[in-house]
Amino acid sequence: MNNLAASAGTRPIDLDDTDHGIIALLRADGRMPYRAIARELGITEATVRARVRRLEESNTMRVVAVTDIEAAGYGMLLAIGVQVENRDPEAVATDLAAIAEVFSVNVVVGSHDIEILVVTEDAGSLSELLMATLGSVPGVRRLTPALAMDVLKNQPDWVPFHDA
């Protein structure tokens, strides 16, 4: 699974300036060598290594590779509001999360019950995804899609970690 959720066992750790410094540098360049990070922050390479391990093991931070949706072959990005009937929204959301094209699932309060982000190749596969795949999930009453025409900004550096 690439989608990482909070594991029940880990406890939050307190972060100090060194941790924040390391996170900021790895945000800018996830493959920055530990030696360069050490030099930048005026600490030893061993400290950097130990801190990174602690951040990763406590499920606080992860260094990841993000692929551009278009470069991956998906021509369309949509945000879809989902209205649910006769079923627990959490259960519907869990089913939606299992669909590969659905890359973000958030149970919400508002005029919809769930907000999802999906990717698809083209108009043909979109129709299949909406009407056959998403529409047939039990409890889904209505889908209200919006097609992203131009994404000006997409840099969430917060995600739910689900594994570990």
Q: Decide whether 71 or 132 has the Cβ nearer to other proteins.
A: 71
162 belongs to the binding site for other proteins (CB under 8 A): yes
Q: How far is the CB of 121 from other proteins (least distance, A)?
A: 11
Least separation in angstroms between CB 132 and other proteins: 20
Name residue, tokens 């406590």. Answer: 58
With CA atoms as reference, report the closest residue to 97 among 111, 78, 118, 77. Answer: 118
Determine, following the binding rule CB under 8 A, whether residue 102 of this chain makes contact with other proteins.
Answer: yes
How are beta strands 114-120 and 76-84 bridged, if at all? antiparallel
- The encoded tokens of residue 51 equal 């801190």
Q: Measured from the CB atom, is 105 or 129 closer to other proteins? A: 105
Q: Please choose, from the candidates 126, 123, 121, 124, the residue with its C-alpha nearest in 3D space to the C-alpha of residue 143.
A: 126
Asked whether the beta carbons of 121 and 72 are under 8 A apart, the reply is no
Is residue 57 a contact residue for other proteins (CB under 8 A)? no
* 69 in contact with other proteins (CB under 8 A): yes
Binding residue (CB under 8 A) for other proteins from 60, 83, 125, 133: 60
Minimum CB distance to other proteins, residue 44 (Å): 18
Tell me how far apart the alpha carbons of residues 137 and 113 are, in angstroms, rounded to a whole number. Answer: 14
